[in-house]
Structure 1
Amino acid sequence: MRWESFLDHVRERGEYPTPQEAERAARTVLALLGAHLVGEVRAELAARLPETFALVLLNPLRATEPLPPERFLRAAAAWIEGATEQTAAWDVGAVLSVTADAAGEDLTRRILLQLPPGYGLLFGRPEHT
């Protein structure tokens, strides 16, 4: 997916007034997501993202433990200037749903297998039981 297209989709879903706000949300959320993914899944997702966002995803930061969705949202709120947990949930949902579209169903399913239960809704996908 091209940079402009990815950012336009994030901007539309997040209802951001400027491309800069959409980019800030995308960089933050993808950096946090990249810290939780490993191996082939992480590399495949990076290959489907625009180069700038792929580099953010591949940043060498590592989470010490997988964060449950609630803590992921709190972490996003802490990193996004002026965000609350509610606005961070909006940001995360906008970015991760566009990311899931770029990844496709099979890769999104494999991403969700690497994450704790509850992330499906953040990606705009129903939870499978």
Structure 2
Amino acid sequence: MVMRWEAFLDEVRERGRYETTEEAARAARTVLALLGAHVVGEARAELAARLPEELALILVNPLPAREPLSPERFVRATAAWIEGATEQTAAWDIGAVLSTAADAAGEELTGRILLQLPAGYDLLFGCPRRVQPA
């Protein structure tokens, strides 16, 4: 089911404790543009199909990444793209957006997306992987 623009931004705004919808939209556009450069194929298309159209277009039309970014570098890249952001505020932005996207995607699709990303992105999505006992 496609999440409506207003519903997605309301959720991001609440999770990120943003004062305005514009702040939530800025965070969503930036984070999903960076994510789209690292998620490919069917999983990216399926996630896009569950996002509002404007965000779906941003996700599926990114500038290609030269190499996968570690979670730490993803945070630094996000901070660089958001005016006035620090790594701490960027991590907050990422958590608000990616946890909302994970809810829209559902557990199975989120799991497939995480398989494409370096270790540690589960924390950015707000769904830490449970380590199975040996």
TM-superposed deviation, 1:65: 0.8
TM-score by length of 2: 0.94
Corresponding residue number in structure 2 for 1:93: 95
How many residues are paired up? 129
TM-superposed deviation, 1:94: 0.3
Q: Distance in 2 between matches of 1:85 and 1:49?
A: 26
CA-atom RMSD in angstroms: 0.7
Q: Percent sequence identity over matched residues?
A: 78
Q: Does 1:112 align with 2:114?
A: yes
Would the aligned equivalents of 1:118 and 1:127 in 2 still touch at CA under 8 Å? no
1:1-129 pair list within 5 angstroms: 1-129=3-131
Letter in 1 for 2:17: E
Runs of 4+ in 1 over 6 A off after TM superposition: none
TM-score by length of 1: 0.98
TM-superposed deviation, 1:128: 3.8
Please, which runs of 5 or more residues in structure 1 have no aligned partner?
none
Q: Distance in 2 between matches of 1:66 and 1:41?
A: 16
- Structure with larger Rg: 2
